[in-house]
Chains A and B, each alone.
Chain A
Amino acid sequence: MTIFAVVVSRLSKAILTLLAIAILNFFLIHAAPGDPAVVLAGEAGAADEQMIEQLRERFGLDQPLYVQLGKYVAGIVQLDLGYSFRQGAPVAELIADRLPATLLLTLTAFVVSLVLGIAFGVAAAARVGKPSDTVLTTMALLFYATPLYWLALMAVLVFSVWFGWLPGFGYETVGANYTGLERVLDIGSHLILPALTLGLFFTAVYMRMARASMLEVSQLDFVKTAKAKGLSDAVIRRRHILRNAILPVVTLAGLQAGQLVGGAVLTETVFAWPGIGRLMFESLAARDYNTILGVFLVSAAMVILFNIVTDIVYRIVDPRIGARS
C-alpha cells in the first residue's frame, strides 16, 4: 500500500470512530445532573423561571433529546461543533483559540521525551548491568512513579519561587507586547517548566521501552551474524540494532499519545497554561455541553493524528512494513 492509501484508509476509519465518540459523549454528558440553563441563570445572579425558560429556548434545550442529538451530529459532519452557552461563542472558535497552546505543549513534551528517552535507553542498554545503567533505570522508575501534577508543583516551588529562574505560570508575559524573536523567547521561557514536567514522565516510559527493545534486538540472529563477521560492537549497535530497536518505540510512543493529552489537562491546570485541557476542566464545571464534547472530539482526533503520523514515520523509516502488509 502506498502511504497515500494508508492515510486514506486510516482517516476514513478515524472519522467513524470520532462520530461514535461524539454520540457516546452526547449521551454521557446529558446523563449528568445539572442544567446549563439553570447554571447560566444562576451565574447571572438573578435566576427566575422566566429567565431559565428563555435560556432553554434560546439554546434548544427544550427540544427532545433526539432532536438535539440529530442537530449536533449534523453540525459535526459540517465541522460545526456547536455553540458554547457559557462563553457565548462558537465552540470551534474557542477550541481554535486554545489549541495552539496545547499543541505547542504536547508536541514539545513529546519530542523532548522521545529524544531523551531513546538516548538514555540506548545508553543504558549499552552498559547493561553496570552502575550507570542502574542509575538510569532507577531514575526512570522514580519519574515513572511520580505524580505529574506534584512534580509540576515542586518544579514551580524550586525554579520559580525559590530560585526565580523561570516563570511559574502562563503562556507569555501579558501586556508586554513583544514581537518577533523576543516573543518567541518569552513564550519559550514560559514553556520550559510545563513541557519538562509533562515530558519527564514520558521520558521515563520511552527510556524503559528503548532499553528493553535494544536488548531484545541484540539477541536476534542477524546481530549474532554481524558479530560473527567480526564487526565491532559500536558499529553493530549503530548499523543494525539501533534502527530496528527504535521503530517499536516510535510506534508505542504514538499509542501513548492519549495519555499525553490527558496529562496535558493536569499540567495546564498547575501552570495556568491556556490550552484545551484547561478549557475542558472549566467547561465541565459549568456543564457547557458543547464545549466539553468539542474538546473531547478534538483530543480524540489529536490522538488519532499522533497515531497516523507515527505510522507514516514508521513506514518511511522502514519500507519493509509497506511491502509486508
Chain B
Amino acid sequence: MKYLKVTTFLIAAALASPVAAQEAGGRLDIVVQPEPPGLMLGLVQNGPTQLVAGDIYESLLRYDSDLNPMPSLAKSWEISDDGLTYTFKLNEGVKWHDGEDFTADDVVFSADVFLRETHARLRASLAYVKSITAPDPMTVVFKLKEPFGPFINAFENGTMPIVPKHIYEGTDFANNPANATPIGTGPFKFKEWVKGSHIHLVKNEDYYVDGLPYLDEVFYRVIPDAAARAVAFETGEVDVLPGGSVENWDIPRLAEMDGVCVTEKGWEFLAPLAWMWLNNREGPTANEKFRQAVMYAMDREFMRDVVWNGFGKVATGPIASSTNFYSDDVTIYDHNPDKAKELLAEMGYDGEPVRILPLPYGETWQRWAEAVRQNLSEVGINAEIDSSDVAGWNEKTSQWDYDMAFTYLYQYGDPALGVSRNYTADRIKKGSPWNNVEGYENLALDEKWAAAATMVTPEEREAAYAEIQKEIVDDVPVAWMQELTFPTIYRCNVNDLVTTAIGINDGPRNAWIKK
C-alpha cells in the first residue's frame, strides 16, 4: 500500500531533483482550456483555475506521485498517535506578493473563516475539525473530533489554498476587488490577464526557496479550439499542452515530433475515474440484472483503445488503482455479449428504450457515448443518445432526469475524500449533479464506508475497503468505465515539469528550460 506513516519530514524542496545544472531563465507557454472564470483559488476551484492559480497560491503541503506529503508552506508536520492532532511548522521569511509577511494567522483565517464559507469540498473535511489555532506565528494546530485517516490529504493546493488575511478579513469575499489581481505566496506573481488571449505570470523574486523558480515568466494561453491548440504546439507557439487540451487522436502525431515528450504522470492525486450513472430508481436500469448486462455488453477495451487512443485503464470498480486502498479482488466484467443477452432474458427486458446522456466535453465523449450505444444495441438494448450542453447535463443529472449518464470525478487520493461520496445514501440529494446521483441505497455498506473513514491504522482501513469494493462491484450501482489518463505533451527541453501528484498545477515551480 502506498500509505506512509507520516511523522516528521525535513526535506528541502529544492533537493527534490538533485540533478545538477538547472538553468535559470526563459519563458514557458502553457495552454489553458477553457479560460478560467477567475483566478482567486479560494473562490473558484475548477480545473483551469487550479492550473493557473496553482503557481500563485500555495497550501501547507505538496504530494509526490505516490501521494506522500512534501513540504510547501509548512516545513514540517506531526500527527499525534491518536490521529487527532495535526501540528504544522511553517517556513520562515515567506512574504505575500504585496510584501506583507505570511504568518500562521493567515492559515487559520483561510481554513477556518474564508474556505469554510467558500469551499464546499473542504467543508466536508472540516466537519471533522474541532479547532484550528496558531499557538505562535510559525505554528498551526488542527484538532479533530475523531480520527479521519484522509485528513493528511486535505492540504493540497486546490483543496486548501492559503489566502491573505490582510486583504480579505472582514470583506465580502466574492466581491472583493482584489480578486482580479490575486495575491498569493507562490513562485509566480500575477502580472496581466488579457481576456480571451492569455494570462501572464512573472517570477516571484522574493520566493522563500532559494534559487526557485527558474523560469522568468509563464504565459497561460487561451486558445478555444482543440485543433488550433494542436497547431499552436506544432508551430512552437506553446510549449506545454496540459492533459485534455487536444483530442486523443492528435496525441500520437504530436508525440512523434522531434523533441516532444509525453507523460501520463501528474494525475495521481486527482485520479479521474469515469463511469455512467445508472438510474437506480426507475426504468430498466433499476434492475440489477440489467445493470450487469450493461457491463457485459460493453467492449471497454475497444473503447479505451479507439475512443481514448489507448490512454487510460479499464476500471474494475469504484476506486482508481492509483488511489490509496485500491483492490482488484472483485468480479471482473469482460466483454461478453452472450452473458449480457442471458441476463436480459432472465430479467425479461421488453425493449424499453434507455437514454444515454454523454458528458458535453467535446468529441471524445460524444464518440464514447456512440460506441456505448452501438454495443448496447448489439445485445438488444434499445438505446438512444440524449443531447445536452453543459447546462443541460447539470440540470438533467441533478434532477435525476436520465437513464445512463456519463461523468467523471476526482478521487483526491483517498476513498473517504473522493469515492464514498458517490455511493452512500446520505449523499443522495436532488439538485446537485455530484455525489450519489444514481440513487444507490445500501445501508449495510454505508456503515462500512463510515467506519473505514475513521479507522486509525492503514491496515484496518485497507481490509475494510477491500470488503466494500468486493461487495459493491456485484451491485453495479454505476457502470465503471475507465481510469482516465490525460497525457501532458511538452517539449523535452522543459525539465522537471511534472514531479508531483498534481502535475502541471504546481509544475512551473521547479521547471527549467535547457538552452
Contact = CB atoms under 8 A, between A and B. Distances in A.
A175 interface: yes
Interface in B318-346: none
Contacts of A39: 390-391, 394
Interface in B220-243: 221, 223-225, 227-228, 231-232, 237
Contacts of B119: 46
Contacts of B438: none
Nearest to A175: B219
A188 interface: no
A146 to B, nearest CB: 20
Given A48-B432, A175-B198, A282-B34, A269 B389 contact: no
Interface in A264-317: 269-272, 274, 278-279, 282, 284-287
Interface string A50-88: 111000001000000000000000000000000000111
A83 B254 CA distance: 40
A271 B195 CA distance: 17
B389 A284 contact: yes
A174 B221 CA distance: 8
A233 interface: no
B231 A160 contact: yes
Contacts of B47: 45
B165 interface: no
A190 B429 CA distance: 49
Contacts of B227: 169
A286 B224 CA distance: 15
B197 interface: yes
A33 interface: yes
Interface string A17-55: 000000000000000111110111111111111111000
Contacts of A171: 197
A167 to B, nearest CB: 9
Contacts of B455: none
A259 B187 CA distance: 49
Contacts of B179: 88
A44 B44 contact: yes
A42 B120 contact: no
A45 B396 contact: no
Contact of A33 (B37, B46, B391, B429): B391
A49 B429 contact: yes
Contacts of B433: 38, 42, 47
Contacts of A161: 231
A285 B360 contact: yes
Contacts of A285: 360, 389-391
A94 interface: yes
Contacts of A98: 196
Contact of A282 (B221, B224, B237, B410): B224
B228 A38 contact: no
A33 B394 CA distance: 9
Contacts of B223: 169-170, 272
A53 to B, nearest CB: 9
Contacts of B396: 33
A163 to B, nearest CB: 14
B185 interface: no
A170 B228 contact: yes
A239 B391 CA distance: 59
A168 to B, nearest CB: 6
A46 B228 CA distance: 31
Interface residues of B, number: 44
Contact of A35 (B37, B395, B410): B395
A97 interface: yes
Interface residues of A, number: 49
B174 interface: yes
Contacts of A270: 225
A100 to B, nearest CB: 11
B38 interface: yes
B228 A44 contact: no
Nearest to B231: A168
B392 interface: yes
Given A43-B37, A44-B120, A35 B394 contact: yes
Contacts of A33: 391-392, 395-396
Contact of A44 (B46, B232, B395): B46
Contact of B431 (A43, A49, A173, A269): A49
A38 B395 contact: yes
B360 A38 contact: no
Interface in A152-196: 160-161, 168-171, 173-175
Contacts of B228: 168-170, 271-272
B121 interface: yes
A98 B299 CA distance: 45
A211 to B, nearest CB: 37
Contacts of A173: 237
B221 A86 contact: no
A175 B390 contact: no
Contact of A38 (B121, B221, B398): B398
Interface string B124-166: 0000000000000000000000000000000000000000000
B434 interface: yes
Contact of A174 (B174, B195, B219, B398): B219
Q: Which of B29, B196, B197, B227 has the most CB of A within 10 A?
A: B196
Contacts of B225: 169, 269-270, 272
Contacts of A160: 231
B116 to A, nearest CB: 11
B45 interface: yes
B391 A52 contact: no
Given A34-B391, A52-B431, A44 B45 contact: yes
Contacts of A284: 389
Nearest to A279: B196
A112 B414 CA distance: 60
Given A33-B391, A272-B225, A97 B195 contact: yes
Contacts of B392: 33-34
A45 B44 CA distance: 9
A185 B195 CA distance: 22
Contacts of B34: 282
B432 A32 contact: no
B418 to A, nearest CB: 11
Given A44-B46, A51-B120, 18 more contacts: A35-B394, A38-B433, A41-B432, A45-B46, A47-B434, A49-B432, A86-B37, A88-B38, A98-B196, A168-B228, A170-B223, A173-B237, A174-B197, A175-B29, A270-B225, A279-B196, A285-B389, A287-B389
Name the 6 nearest CB pairs between A and B, nearest first.
A34-B391, A46-B121, A169-B228, A287-B391, A46-B120, A274-B196
Interface of B: 27, 29, 34, 37-38, 44-47, 119-121, 123, 174, 179, 195-198, 219, 221, 223-225, 227-228, 231-232, 237, 360, 389-392, 394-396, 398, 410, 429, 431-434
15 contacts: A34-B391, A38-B432, A41-B432, A42-B433, A42-B434, A44-B44, A45-B46, A45-B121, A47-B432, A89-B195, A171-B197, A174-B219, A175-B29, A284-B389, A285-B391
